[in-house]
Copies of this chain bind each other. A is one copy, B any other.
Amino acid sequence: MTDPDSPAPRSVGARRGRPPSNALSRERILDAALTLLEREGPEALTLRRLGADLGSNHTAVLRYFSGKDDILLGLAERLIAEAVDGFEPGPTWRATLTELARRVRRACQAHPALAVLVASRVSRRDAEFRGADLVIGALLEAGFGARESARYYRALVDVTLAMSSFEAASAVLDGPEREGDRMAWQREYLMASPQRFPQLASVAAHLAEADEDDQFEFVMGLLLDAVEARSGRPA
- Interface residue ranges, A against B (CB under 8 Å): 69, 119-122, 124, 129-130, 132-134, 136-137, 140, 146-147, 149-151, 153-155, 158-159, 161-163, 165-166, 169-170, 177, 180-181, 184-185, 188-189, 192-193, 196-200, 202-207, 209-210, 215, 218-219, 222-223, 225-227, 229-230
Residues of the B chain whose Cβ atoms lie less than 8 Å from the Cβ of A69: 177
10 contacts between A and B (CB under 8 A): A120-B166, A122-B185, A130-B197, A132-B197, A136-B202, A136-B203, A140-B203, A146-B202, A151-B210, A155-B219
The answer to whether A158 and B150 touch across the interface, beta carbons within 8 angstroms, is no
- Smallest CB-CB separation from A141: which chain B residue? B199
B177–A136 contact, CB under 8 A?
no
Cβ-closest chain B residue relative to A147: B206
Selected from B161, B165, B184, the residue in CB contact (under 8 A) with A122 is B184
Main secondary structure of the interface of A (DSSP, over half): helix
Q: Chain copies in the assembly?
A: 2
Residue on B nearest A149 in the bound complex, by CB: B203
Given contacts A129-B189, A150-B203, A159-B163, 16 further A-B pairs with CB under 8 A are A120-B169, A122-B180, A129-B193, A132-B192, A133-B198, A133-B200, A136-B202, A140-B199, A146-B203, A146-B205, A150-B209, A155-B215, A158-B215, A159-B219, A162-B162, A162-B163
Q: Across the interface, which residues of B come within 8 angstroms of A181, CB to CB?
A: 121-122
**Selected contact of A226 from candidates B155, B159, B199, B222, CB within 8 Å:** B222
What residue in chain B is nearest A169 (Cβ atoms)? B120
Chain B minimum-CB-distance residue to A227: B222
**Distance in Å from the Cβ of A124 to the closest Cβ of chain B?**
5
Interfacial chain B residues near A226, Cβ < 8 Å: 222-223, 225-226, 229
Most buried by B among A166, A209, A210: A166
Q: How far is the CB of A123 from chain B (nearest CB, A)?
A: 9
Return chain B residues, CB-CB under 8 Å to A184.
122, 124
